[in-house]
Chains A and B, each alone.
Chain A
Amino acid sequence: MAYRVVHYINQFFAGVGGEEKADYRPEARDGAVGPGLALNGALGGDAEIVGTVICGDSYFADNIEEAKKQILELIAKFEPDAVVAGPAFNAGRYGTACGAVCEAVANELNIPTVTGMYEENPGVDMFKKATYIVKTADSARGMKDAIPVMAKLVLKQLRGEPIGKPEEEGYIPKGVRINYFADKIGAVRAVDMFVKKLKGEPYTTEYPMPVFDRVPPNPPVANLAEATIALVTSGGIVPKGNPDHIEASSASKYGEYSLAGVESLSAETHETAHGGYDPTYANENPNRVLPVDVMRELEKEGVIKKFHETFYTTVGNGTSVANAKKFGAEIAQKLKDANVTAVIVTST
């Protein structure tokens, strides 16, 4: 009997409509719809699309938890063996939805999942650990190439066959190290690589070292007296009691707190959530990490025009680069939207 596959797509690929229909609510249809027809063909009879679940991109983005729950229920009713989502190409909201659906399916239904996205789709960084994401072109023109690769990956998982290297299988690396038996022993591989490096020929390291990004510096503040300055910290300063439960290490979230009416931080109002240093001094006087007292003073003195009354905080200790990047991007967007001129980031 053929394996049962459910396909998740958005309103556009289901032919419901474009942006004007993006608030379309989750809906299930029997059999394949839109790109599912090609996918069904690529599955070659070993697996079959028994149902398609459709959801508008805006509806998903605006009601993530609720939408996920509804979609999961609709998927579960088909009693599938696997779920394929997208491909979403470079559509950010669609990619995020595909990733989130795959993640939820893997966690709740414990069955294989595959989706497809363009490398720069924000869904890639968010969900590449949770599901196989096939590398696609940036637009639907890449559909023809993406479908067979996605079909092959889902079939391999269904049959319990080993999944090969990302470049061979066409998926974006999940970032996990996997053992395999190479053709040659390690010493021979090392000497081969050595000879190439000595000759200046290209070679590929078997273990890439962790790397950090660089960004070009932004232009300076022209007129400080007209500037709005915000504070951001990785020192873990939070309102007393740590209302959002930011983790002491390996933070999975950041906090966003108002300082309206706050002239200075104190042991009564704030503390640190950071587990990476002796918290005694920061708890005694949180201004030692987040200098709110001085910022207020400078605001009064007119050195700066305005102290931005929301501060952003997380714990830098052991926090993954991926999470830190995500926090950084979100915080930067919020500060930009609030017309902040410049930012002081404090770290312990």
Chain B
Amino acid sequence: MKLELHKVKVTDLKWGDKTLFDGGTLYVNKAEIEEMLLEDERFAKVSVDFAKPGESVRILPVKDVVEPRCKLEGENEVFPGFIGDVDTVGCGKTLVLSGAAVVTCGRIVGFQEGIIDMSGPGADYTPFSKTNNVVLVFEPKEGLEKHEYEAACRMAGLKTAHYLACAVKGAAADEVETYELPCFAEAMKSHEGLPKVAYLYMLQSQGLLHDTYVYGVDAKKILPTLIHPNEVMDGAIVSGNCVSACDKNNTYSHLNNPVIKEMYARHGKDFNFVGCIITNENTTLADKKRSSSYAVKLARLLGVDGLIITEEGFGNPDTDLIMNCRKAEKAGIKTVLLTDEYAGRDGASQSLADACSEADAVVTAGNANEVVVLPKMEKVIGFPEYADIIAGGFDGSLREDGSIETEIQAITGATNELGFNRIAAYTG
């Protein structure tokens, strides 16, 4: 499968009568978006706003972040099962508005959503302080159930991302990246002498408001399966969860999965990257056992020498991570794990809820309990009063002067376990 990402660099956002792209600026027709989204009867109100890098702006509570993409050539459309049909994606050409993002913002449950600061110390922690954000703020119809509201917000984010990308069709790409991996028959024969490796990609799948979708299918209902990394770049994996902001993989980070990117970069040099296995993180122990065994079995069928394993979330997924690691290592497959930590505010508690001696190569995305103070911003998009109850925040965290004292758990993408950020931790 071969996929070209045609990247158009967005450096500024402006309101316009027509949504179009000109000289690095994305002009956005606000009314058109609001109208489009209000077609969904589940919303009572939708408003659109901008948040750009360096501005004194805070967005909260943030649900998801999506990068605008659409197909230029090839079968189907991006986000299969939501925007596109359920047919295969990952081939042909895809337009990417790099440097831009759609941020969805609304109170689904009164906690578990995140904060994005566009400047100040908080901006160092979130990857989305560096993107030009089109922010969607929702209010639901009265009496709408939470999981229905989540589905509506999810769909609205994807729709808007697709809409923005479609309006830019025809613009010259600043950069074209090509991603190609051959079929297994060929992959097994190529790059003789290099170890064969795969990526084991864990997806949050604990239940309503804690789910991830693969081609529109709820990931808790899948058995671990193979996916081509190019499919992920076309939006085959969509986030549908409202779990802790710092370490849920929002749709943006699935689309731009840095592990996939880096494994492609080293493919043919340091190893032979043969593919991705996706697995889930269910809450019944029987499912955990079945999925970890099945995922490792797939790795064995592929005959790989090594697996990079990334976790999503914390707590019970630590058990999935350790099961995956232990079963792979017992099968003679070398593993590296990517996780984050909950070591307490003083950093003195046990970081993970599970452990095994086989897990001897771990990369950490930092301690999510670290406390930071986020100074007052001139403008707040969303609902500032929720700072108090957002995960990681606590009573009194929204101070009278408008600053927020919080654990970085509340910052969107702060301890992303796909390894999106530079943050790490050591034992001091």
Q: Do any beta carbons of A and B sit within 8 angstroms of each other in the complex?
A: yes
Asked if A211 and B357 sit within 8 Å, CB to CB, the answer is yes
Instruction: Select one of B336, B346, B417, B419 contacting A185, CB under 8 A.
Output: B419
B355, A173: Cβ atoms under 8 Å? no
CB pair A173–B423 under 8 Å, yes or no, is no
| A178 CB to nearest B CB, Å | 4
Partner of B124, one of A174, A181, A188, A205: A181
Alpha-carbon gap, A51 to B357, bound state (A): 49
Q: Whole-angstrom distance between the alpha carbons of A211 and B427 in the complex?
A: 15
Please indicate the chain B residues that have their CB under 8 angstroms from the CB of A183 in the complex: 422
Cα of A246 to Cα of B361 in the assembled complex, Å: 38
Residues in B with CB closer than 8 Å to A191 are 259, 262-263, 266, 270, 308, 336
Please, could you name 18 A-B residue pairs with CB atoms under 8 Å apart, sorted by A?
A163-B428, A166-B428, A174-B428, A177-B341, A177-B343, A179-B408, A180-B424, A185-B420, A186-B417, A187-B258, A187-B418, A190-B262, A190-B338, A198-B195, A198-B197, A209-B357, A210-B350, A211-B357
> Chain B residues near A1 (CB, 8 Å)?
none
Report A157-192 residues with CB < 8 Å from chain B CB: 163, 165-166, 173-191
Residues of A within 8 A of B364 (CB): 186, 206-207
Is A176 in contact with B361, judged by CB distance below 8 angstroms? no
Minimum Cβ distance to chain A for residue B204 (Å): 18
Is the C-beta of A194 less than 8 angstroms from some C-beta in chain B? yes
Q: Interface extent on A, as a size class?
A: 35 or more
Determine the chain A residues whose CB is within 8 A of the CB of B365 once the complex forms: 186
Interface string of B341-361 (1 = CB under 8 A from A): 101001110111001110111
The answer to whether A177 touches B421, judged by C-beta atoms less than 8 angstroms apart, is no
Q: Which residue of the partner chain B has the closest CB to A208?
A: B427
Residue of A nearest to B263 (CB): A191
As a 0/1 sequence over residues 329 to 341 of chain B, the CB contacts with chain A under 8 angstroms (1 = contact) are 0000010101101
Q: How far is the CB of A215 from chain B (nearest CB, A)?
A: 18
The reply on B366 being an interface residue by CB < 8 A is: yes
Query: CB < 8 Å: which of A177, A178, A190, A209 contacts B359?
Result: A209
Residues of chain A contacted by B339 (CB below 8 angstroms):
207
- Distance of A113 from chain B, by nearest CB (Å): 16
A163 closest partner in B (C-beta): B428
Which of B259, B347, B408 is within 8 Å of A178, CB to CB?
B347
Q: Does chain B have a CB within 8 A of A334?
A: no
A30-69: CB near B (< 8 Å → 1, else 0) gives 0000000000000000000000000000000000000000
Most chain-A Cβ atoms within 10 A of its Cβ — which of B261, B308, B419? B419
Decide yes or no whether A109 CB sits under 8 A from chain B. Answer: no
Check A165–B426 contact: CB distance below 8 A.
yes
B308 touches A194 (CB 8 A): yes
Minimum CB–CB distance from A185 to chain B (whole Å) comes to: 5
A303 CA / B306 CA spacing, docked (Å): 57
**Any B CB within 8 A of the CB of A76:** no
**Shortest distance from the beta carbon of B18 to any chain A beta carbon, whole Å:** 37
Contact for B426 among A178, A189, A193, A210, CB less than 8 A: A178
Q: Which chain B positions have C-beta within 8 A of A165?
A: 426, 428
Interface of A with B (CB < 8 Å)? 129, 163, 165-166, 173-191, 193-195, 197-198, 203, 205-211
Asked if A179 meets B425 with Cβ closer than 8 Å, knowing A209-B360, A210-B355, the reply is: yes
Q: CB-defined interface of B103-144 with A at 8 Å, one 1/0 digit per residue?
A: 000000000000000000000100000000000000000000
Given contacts A179-B425, A180-B426, contact A198 B262 (CB under 8 A): no
B residues apposed to A, CB below 8 Å: 124, 195, 197, 258-259, 261-263, 266, 270-271, 305-306, 308, 334, 336, 338-339, 341, 343, 346-348, 350-352, 355-357, 359-367, 370, 408, 416-428
Closest to B417 in A: A186
Chain A: minimal CB distance from B276 (Å):
14
Q: Which residues from chain B contact A180 at a C-beta distance below 8 Å?
A: 423-426
Contact check, A182 vs B355: say whether CB atoms are below 8 A apart.
Answer: no
> Given A187-B262, A190-B308, A191-B308, 9 other A-B contacts at CB below 8 A?
A163-B428, A184-B422, A185-B422, A194-B197, A195-B266, A197-B361, A198-B270, A207-B363, A210-B355
B355 to chain A, nearest CB (A): 5
Q: Is the CB of B363 within 8 A of A193?
A: yes
Chain A residue nearest to B419 (CB atoms) is: A186
Residue of B nearest to A183 (CB): B422
Asked if A177 and B419 make an inter-chain contact with CB atoms under 8 angstroms apart, the answer reads no
- Structural contact, A206 and B357, CB atoms closer than 8 A: no
* A210 / chain B contacts, CB cutoff of 8 Å: 350, 355
Please determine whether B428 and A195 come into contact, CB atoms closer than 8 angstroms: no
Most buried by A among B305, B346, B365, B370: B365
Alpha-carbon distance A181/B415, docked complex (angstroms)? 11
The chain B residue sitting closest to A165, CB to CB, is: B426
Contacts of A175 in B (CB 8 A): 348, 427
- A178 CA / B424 CA spacing, docked (Å): 8
* Minimum Cβ distance to chain A for residue B318 (Å): 11
